[in-house]
Amino acid sequence: MREDDRQRATEFAKELYAAGAIDTDRLDASVAQLLAARSEIELAGVVRSLPAPVALTSQERQLAGPLEIHSGMGRLRLAGRWQLARETHISADLGSISLDLTQAEFDDHVIDLHVYTGWGSITIIVPQGVDIQVIRHRGGVDSRLEPPVPGLPLVRLDLTTNIGRVHLRHPRHHDRPRRWPRSSRHR
């Protein structure tokens, strides 16, 4: 197990405490468990016991099948509260696509996100700590993401832009303050 994974997980717990999402006792217990973890699986388990940095869809509201959103021409922008199914397909024939995942609800800890535009750029704004894996891409990818926190949700990306670039970034400080949820809901 890498020590920087443990450090990121410990910082995540401290940020939850600073945001009021967990109390002092929970912080102390979590940090002790993170420091005692002997494997990445144990570390991830402790992180999953803490409130998630993204909203998780309640079981009764989770989508049964893939979510498909298509725009013919023009810019497609999804931001604010919106839902990501376990498998989500977003496409535009002509136009840029902008996806802000910071307030999106995730149907699962692992999301398969397929994004296609025939002509235009793709921008995906990713919450701090969430793991992003680019499984397949066509077009240049410019990633400005920090390493993920082990145990936080994973978004697997299949990206295509025939003419344009893909931009992956965290919210800018002036875009939106970094906030962890105040709920103590367990996953």
At residue 112, the pLDDT reads 98
Domain extents for the chain?
Answer: 3-51, 56-169
Three-class secondary structure of residue 156 per DSSP = strand
Query: 62: Cβ–Cβ under 8 A, 6 or more apart, which residues?
Result: 85, 86, 107, 108
At residue 2, the pLDDT reads 84
pLDDT digits (tens, 9 = 90+) for 4-54: 999 999 999 999 999 899 999 999 999 999 999 999 999 999 999 999 888
At residue 38, the pLDDT reads 93
Indicate whether 156 pLDDT > 80: yes
Burial 82-116 (b: 16+ CB within 10 A, else e): ebbbbbbbbbbeebbbbbbbbbbbbbbbebbbbbb
At which residue do the structure tokens 């998630």 appear? 52
For residues 100 and 152, give the distance between their C-alpha atoms in angstroms, rounded to a whole number: 17
Greatest extent of the chain over all pairs of C-alpha atoms, in Å: 53
R_g of the chain, CA atoms, integer Å = 17
pLDDT digits (tens, 9 = 90+) for 44-74: 999 999 998 889 999 999 999 999 999 988 8
Between 186 and 144, residue with greater pLDDT:
144
Summarize the confidence of residues 147-167 as an average pLDDT.
Answer: 94
